[in-house]
Structure 1
Amino acid sequence: MATLILSRVWINRLDTGEAVNAQSWDRTQDYDMDGDVGTYAGGRQRSISVEGERGSFGCTLRRVSLATILTLREWKGLPVQVRDHRGQLWVGVYLRVVPIEQSDPAWYDAALTVRTVDAPEGV
């Protein structure tokens, strides 16, 4: 029996399937929704919220080449699928890539945050 071990973050373009992958650290998830608490008669507090959730997944890709940085820059604003080392899946877009120089001039780290979007799954 084969075992799949996910030790990297994978980023795939949805339209072409092209992929970038790298070790990662500093992975964060954030989920929120629009809403507030309103005060009504007698001082009662009630939740006022809008249906729907916003999510984001941030990570720093470790030791990637300049070519990978350029690829990530080309993909800004395009729908991508991101899978982390746990197999979790996010579909979204990122609008910013932050290259971080390393002591070895051949390598960079790349920080990005994917903002989730609704995407159909299946056929």
Structure 2
Amino acid sequence: MQYAIMFYETEKNFETRDHREDDSEYWGAWRAYIDEIVASGVVRGGAGLHAPQAATTVRLKDGQRHVQDGPFAAAKEQLGGFFLIEVPDLDAALSWAAKAPCAPTGVEVRPTLPSQM
């Protein structure tokens, strides 16, 4: 079954991402996690996302497009990236989510709908 595992990070995490020093604890933990999950063969796609300040939100109201700078919702934790993974069941997806460096902040796991893309 395919799941999206969505990684939520704090403002401090996003600030740390801007400094890609090879020896940083943040990037070291993410490199190790990415290497492990990719080597397992379960990854079907994914991407890291720029900071919430780079987001633009679009809403359609009365047939008119309304554009707002910033993320969909203001919150302490914001979506920092995601993987699409193919695993046998929810428990396997939860195991991968729990290994993510941002698990203390939060990782959302959600089954995906079938797609013909």
Q: Decide: shared fold, TM above 0.5.
A: no
Q: Which has the higher contact order (CA 8 A, sep 6+)?
A: 2
Structure (1/2) with the larger strand percentage: 1
Larger Rg: 1
Structure (1/2) with the larger helix percentage: 2
**TM-score under structure 1 normalisation?**
0.28
**TM-score under structure 2 normalisation?**
0.29
